[in-house]
């Protein structure tokens, strides 16, 4: 069974800025990433730092046309390295983040947004 067949929610390619902090670090430094895709169950973001699977994050982002900022928590479910830059000298990471603490209103809004764009 492919990964897309196992997904609980439909997924949509989207590029929005995501601000995040690592919850287990002493300093809660705000960092920035770009999303690749989103569903009501999670979001894939592009990182320039390697994080461990299971790392808890707090993050916020907004959907185009949605006037409210979505704030939630999640954990890194998977990480995939890729190379960028001159001579492929810099590592980047696609990180799948599973939502662990998100309001039902925000989860429903994401689901409606994705469903409206996928149809």
Q: Locate 58 and state its tokens.
A: 């707090």
d(CA 47, CA 77): 14
Delimit the domains of the chain by residue range.
3-118
| pLDDT recorded at residue 7 | 62
| Residue pLDDT, tens place only, 60-90 | 999 998 888 999 999 999 999 999 877 888 8
Out of 3.40.220.10, 3.30.40.10, 2.40.10.220, 3.50.50.60, which CATH number does the structure's domain 3-118 have?
2.40.10.220
| Residue pLDDT, tens place only, 2-37 | 444 456 888 999 999 999 999 877 677 899 999 999
Please choose, from the candidates 97, 93, 75, the residue with its C-alpha nearest in 3D space to the C-alpha of residue 84: 93
Is the full-model pTM beyond 0.85? yes
The answer on pLDDT for 117 being more than 90 is no
| pLDDT recorded at residue 88 | 81
């Amino acid at each position: 069974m492919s990964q897309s067949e196992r997904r609980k929610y439909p997924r949509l390619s989207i590029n929005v800025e995501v601000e995040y902090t690592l919850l287990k670090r002493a300093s809660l430094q705000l960092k920035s990433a770009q999303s690749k895709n989103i569903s009501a169950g999670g979001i894939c973001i592009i990182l320039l730092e390697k994080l461990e699977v299971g790392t808890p994050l707090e993050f916020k982002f907004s959907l185009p046309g949605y006037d409210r900022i979505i704030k939630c928590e999640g954990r890194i479910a998977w990480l995939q390295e890729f190379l960028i830059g001159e001579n492929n000298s810099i590592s980047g990471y696609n990180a799948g983040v599973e939502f662990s603490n998100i309001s039902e209103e925000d989860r429903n809004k994401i689901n409606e947004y994705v469903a409206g764009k996928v149809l």
